[in-house]
Amino acid sequence: MLSLKKYLTEGLLQFTILLSLIGVRVDVDTYLTSQLPPLREIILGPSSAYTQTQFHNLRNTLDGYGIHPKSIDLDNYFTARRLLSQVRALDRFQVPTTEVNAWLVHRDPEGSVSGSQPSSGLTLESSSGLQDVTGPDNGVRESETEQGFSEDLEDLGAVAPPVSGDLTKEDIDLGAGREIFDYSHRQKEQDVDKDLCDGAEQDDTWSGEGAEALARNLLVDGETGESFPAQFPADISSITEAVPSESEPPGLQNHLLSPLLTGTESPFDLEQQWQDLMSIMEMQAMEVNTSASEILYSAPPGDPLSTNYSLAPNTPINQNVSLHQASLGGCSQDFSLFSPEVESLPVAGGSTLLPLVPSNSTSLNSTFGSTNLAGLFFPAQLNGSANDTAGPELPDPLGGLLDEAMLDEISLMDLAIEEGFNPVQASQLEEEFDSDSGLSLDSSHSPSSLSSSEGSSSSSSSSSSSSSSSSSSSSASSSASSSFSEEGAVGYSSDSETLDLEEAEGAVGYQPEYSKFCRMSYQDPAQLSCLPYLEHVGHNHTYNMAPSALDSAELPAPGALKKGSKEKQADFLDKQMSRDEHRARAMKIPFTNDKIINLPVEEFNELLSKYQLSEAQLSLIRDIRRRGKNKMAAQNCRKRKLDTILNLERDVEDLQRDKARLLREKVEFLRSLRQMKQKVQSLYQEVFGRLRDENGRPYSPSQYALQYAGDGSVLLIPRTLADQQARRQERKPKDRRK
DNA sequence: TTCAATTGTCATTTG
DNA sequence: TTCAAATGACAATTG
Tens-digit pLDDT profile for residues A432-478: 333 333 333 333 333 333 333 333 333 333 333 333 333 333 333 33
Higher pLDDT, A732 or A609: A609
Region A615-642: mean pLDDT is: 85
Region A534-553: mean pLDDT is: 32
CA of A519 to C1' of C14 (A): 34
Q: Provide, rounded to the nearest whole percent, the portion of chain A with pLDDT above 70.
A: 21
**pLDDT at residue A661 above 90?**
yes
The pLDDT assigned to A600 comes to 83
Which positions of strand C lie within 7 Å of protein CB atoms? 3-9
Give the Cβ contact number of residue A392 at 10 Å: 8
Region A156-162: mean pLDDT is: 33
The pLDDT assigned to A639 comes to 84
CA of A471 to C1' of B8 (A): 31
The pLDDT assigned to A678 comes to 96
What average pLDDT is seen over chain A?
A: 46
A279/A273 Cα distance (integer angstroms)? 10
Which of the four pLDDT bands, split at 50, 70 and 90, describes residue A644? confident
Q: What do you get for the CA distance between the two ends of chain A, in Å?
A: 43
A95: which strand partners? A361
The pLDDT assigned to A574 comes to 64
A147-156 core/surface letters (b: 16 or more CB in 10 A; e: else): bbbbbbbbbb
Higher pLDDT, A377 or A12: A12
What's phi and psi for A366, nearest 5 deg?
A: -45, -140
Which of the four pLDDT bands, split at 50, 70 and 90, describes residue A736? low
The pLDDT assigned to A18 comes to 53
Give Cα A158 distance to the centre of its chain: 22
Which pTM does this prediction carry? 0.32
> What would the pLDDT profile of A563-618 be if each residue is shown by its tens digit?
566 666 666 666 667 777 777 877 888 888 888 888 888 888 888 888 888 888 88
A542/A573 Cα distance (integer angstroms)? 10
CB A319 within 8 A of CB A371: no
Which residues make Cβ contacts (< 8 Å) with residue A655, sequence separation at least 6?
A: none
**pLDDT at residue A727 above 60?**
yes
**Does the CB of A579 sit below 7 A from strand B?**
yes
The pLDDT assigned to A147 comes to 36
CB A206 within 8 A of CB A664: no
Weakest-pLDDT range from A58-62, A268-272, A558-562: A58-62
CA of A514 to C1' of C1 (A): 29
A55/A135 Cα distance (integer angstroms)? 11
Which positions of strand B lie within 7 Å of protein CB atoms? 6-12
Helix (H, G, I), strand (E, B), or coil: what is residue A1?
A: coil
**pLDDT at residue A667 above 90?**
yes
**Does the CB of A76 sit below 7 A from strand B?**
no
Region A332-349: mean pLDDT is: 32
Q: Of chain A residues 440-459, which have a beta carbon within 7 Å of strand B?
A: 442, 445-446, 448
A177/A660 Cα distance (integer angstroms)? 36
Which residues make Cβ contacts (< 8 Å) with residue A688, sequence separation at least 6?
A: A320, A321, A699, A701, A704, A705, A706
Q: Provide, rounded to the nearest whole percent, the portion of chain A with pLDDT above 90.
A: 4
Which of the four pLDDT bands, split at 50, 70 and 90, describes residue A226? very low
Region A715-723: mean pLDDT is: 87
SS3 assignment for A91-151: HHHCEEHHHHHHHHHHHCHHHHCCCHHHHHHHHHHHHHHHHHHHCCCCCHHHHHHHHHHHH
**pLDDT at residue A624 above 50?**
yes
**Does the CB of A578 sit below 7 A from strand B?**
yes
Residue A35: how many CA atoms within 13 Å on its side-chain side?
33
Give the alpha-carbon dihedral of A443, A446, A451, A454, to 10 degrees: 50
What's phi and psi for A23, nearest 5 deg?
A: -55, -30
Closest CA to A442 of A639, A599, A629: A639
Which residues make Cβ contacts (< 8 Å) with residue A577, sequence separation at least 6?
A: A542, A545, A546, A549, A585
Higher pLDDT, A621 or A158: A621
CA of A637 to C1' of C7 (A): 7
CA of A442 to C1' of C1 (A): 36
Nearest nucleotide from residue A443 CA, by C1' atom: B7
**pLDDT at residue A66 above 80?**
no
Which of the four pLDDT bands, split at 50, 70 and 90, describes residue A383? very low
For B9, nearest residue by CA–C1' is: A627
Q: Of chain A residues 604-633, which have a beta carbon within 7 Å of strand B?
A: 623, 626-628, 630-631
Helix (H, G, I), strand (E, B), or coil: what is residue A695?
A: coil
Higher pLDDT, A602 or A554: A602
Region A321-338: mean pLDDT is: 32
Nearest nucleotide from residue A622 CA, by C1' atom: C3
The pLDDT assigned to A676 comes to 96
**pLDDT at residue A55 above 60?**
no
CB A394 within 8 A of CB A381: yes
Give Cα A715 distance to the centre of its chain: 46
The pLDDT assigned to A365 comes to 34
The pLDDT assigned to A419 comes to 39
Which of the four pLDDT bands, split at 50, 70 and 90, describes residue A734? low
A536/A269 Cα distance (integer angstroms)? 65
> What would the pLDDT profile of A176-198 be if each residue is shown by its tens digit?
333 333 333 333 333 333 333 33
> What would the pLDDT profile of A498-520 be if each residue is shown by its tens digit?
323 323 322 222 222 222 223 22
**pLDDT at residue A487 above 80?**
no
**Cα separations (Å) of A178 from A52, A152, A352, A424, A519?**
15, 15, 18, 39, 85
**Does the CB of A629 sit below 7 A from strand C?**
yes
**Does the CB of A186 sit below 7 A from strand B?**
no
Give the alpha-carbon dihedral of A575, A579, A580, A586, to 10 degrees: 80
Give the alpha-carbon dihedral of A88, A89, A94, A95, to 10 degrees: 50
CA of A653 to C1' of C14 (A): 34
The pLDDT assigned to A674 comes to 97
A426/A650 Cα distance (integer angstroms)? 7
CA of A190 to C1' of B2 (A): 36
Q: What share of chain A is helix, strand, coil (3-state, %, to 5)?
A: 75, 0, 20
A274/A231 Cα distance (integer angstroms)? 7
A301: which strand partners? A329
